[in-house]
């Protein structure tokens, strides 16, 4: 892999690093729902980088169209996730998701 001439593989390495950081963030911040949601956004961003990279190097617009749908779904999921978080916080007073055990028999 060359260092000066930027090809597809450079962008794919960036996408892999972003995805790994997203997964790592979920591992680290298990109790913190907001950071988990942000790590999911990072993972979705890495997927968009991947799709657009392949779209650019295969000269195919499908990758960019799919990336736009990924963006749509990511925005919808962030909205719903935060609404759930706000509703949860109103009832519990904290966002430690380990405390959700009232249905436990």
Partner 1 sequence: MIEALFFYVFSAVLIASALMVITARNPVHAVLFLIMAFFNAAALFVMLGAEFIAMILVIVYVGAVAVLFLFVVMMLDINFAALRVGMKKHLPVGLFVGAALFAELIWLYLSWQGSAGAAERVTMPTPDAAYITNTHALGHVLYTNYVYLFQISGLILLVAMIGAITLTLRDRAGVRRQKISEQVSRKPKDVLKIEKIATGAGVS
Which lies closer to partner 1 via its Cβ, residue 87 or residue 100? Answer: 87
Q: What is the DSSP string of 69-83?
A: HHHHHHHHHHHHHHH
Within residues 72-91, the interface with partner 1 by CB under 8 A covers 72-80, 82-87, 89
Measured N-to-C along each axis, helices 33-58 and 8-28 cross at an angle, to the nearest 10 degrees, of 170
Contacts of 76 (CB under 8 A, 6+ apart): none
Residue 7 DSSP one-character state: -
Within residues 14-73, the interface with partner 1 by CB under 8 A covers 14-25, 27-32, 34-35, 37-39, 41-42, 45, 48-49, 52-53, 55-56, 58-62, 64-65, 67-69, 71-73
- Binder of partner 1 out of 4, 91, 102, 105 (CB under 8 A): 4
Question: According to the binding rule CB under 8 A, does residue 100 interact with partner 1?
Answer: no
């Amino acid at each position: 892999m060359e260092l000066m001439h930027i090809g597809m593989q450079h962008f794919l390495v960036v996408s892999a690093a972003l995805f790994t950081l997203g997964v790592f963030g979920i591992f680290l911040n298990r109790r913190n729902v907001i950071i988990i949601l942000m790590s999911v956004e990072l993972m979705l961003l890495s997927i968009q980088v991947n799709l657009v990279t392949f779209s650019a190097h295969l000269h195919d617009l499908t990758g960019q169209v799919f990336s736009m749908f990924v963006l749509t779904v990511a925005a919808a999921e962030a909205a719903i996730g935060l609404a759930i978080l706000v509703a949860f916080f109103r009832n519990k007073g904290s966002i430690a998701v380990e405390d959700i055990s009232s249905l436990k028999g």
